[in-house]
Amino acid sequence: MQNVLLYAPHKSGTMFLNRLLTNISAASGVPYYSINSENFPDDPVLIKDNSAFHGKSGIFGPFRRLVVPPDISSYKIIVHLRDPRDVLTSFFFSHCYSHSRKEGGWNPSDETRQQWIDDGIDKYVTGKRLTWVKDRYAEFTEILHEQPDVTLVKYEEMVTDFSSWLSKFLEPFPAVNKEILRLGLFNKFNSEFNVKTEDIYQNRRQVKPGDHKKKLKPETIQFLNIELKDILDKFGYTANGQIRDSSANEQFVNEKRSQNTSSQFSRLEQSAAAAKTTLEDNHLNPDQLAEALEKLLAVKDTKTMQTVFQQLPPDSFNNNKISSIFLRYLFASGDNQKAVYFAEKLKLGKVHASDTELAPIIEQVLKPAPSKDQLPKPNLIDYEFDLDDSHYSMKLLLKCPSCGAVHLRKIGWGVMILRVNHCPKCLKPALISPEFIAETMHKYHTDDGGEGIRQIDRELYNLVSNWHLEESYPEEGFLNGSNLAEPMMLPTLRSLIKGMYLEKYVHSGEKQ
Are 312 and 322 spatial neighbours (Cβ–Cβ below 8 Å)? yes
3-class SS string, 421-468: EECCCCCCEEEECHHHHHHHHHHHHHHCCCHHHHHHCHHHHHHHCCEE
- Domain 4-255, CATH number (from 3.40.50.800, 3.40.630.30, 3.30.565.10, 3.40.50.300): 3.40.50.300
Residue 36 CA to residue 15 CA, distance in Å, equals 8
The pTM (predicted TM-score) of the whole model is 0.50
Give the pLDDT score at 510: 31
The CATH fold assigned to 261-365 is 1.25.40
SS3 label, residue 237? strand
- The rounded average pLDDT for each run of 10 residues, N- to C-terminus, in the chain (512 residues) is 89 92 90 85 88 91 91 90 93 82 72 88 90 90 80 91 91 80 90 73 73 89 88 81 50 42 68 86 86 92 91 87 92 87 84 72 88 82 61 74 86 59 90 71 52 44 41 37 34 38 35 28
Start-to-end CA distance of the chain, whole Å, equals 45
Give the pLDDT score at 82: 93
Give the pLDDT score at 59: 94
Q: Is the peptide bond before 148 cis (omega within 30 degrees of 0)?
A: no
Report domain extents, the chain.
4-255, 261-365, 372-508
Are 227 and 239 spatial neighbours (Cβ–Cβ below 8 Å)? no
Residue 44 CA to residue 94 CA, distance in Å, equals 21
Q: Residue 294 corresponds to which amino acid?
A: E
What residues contact 27, with CB distance under 8 A and at least 6 apart? 175, 181, 184, 185
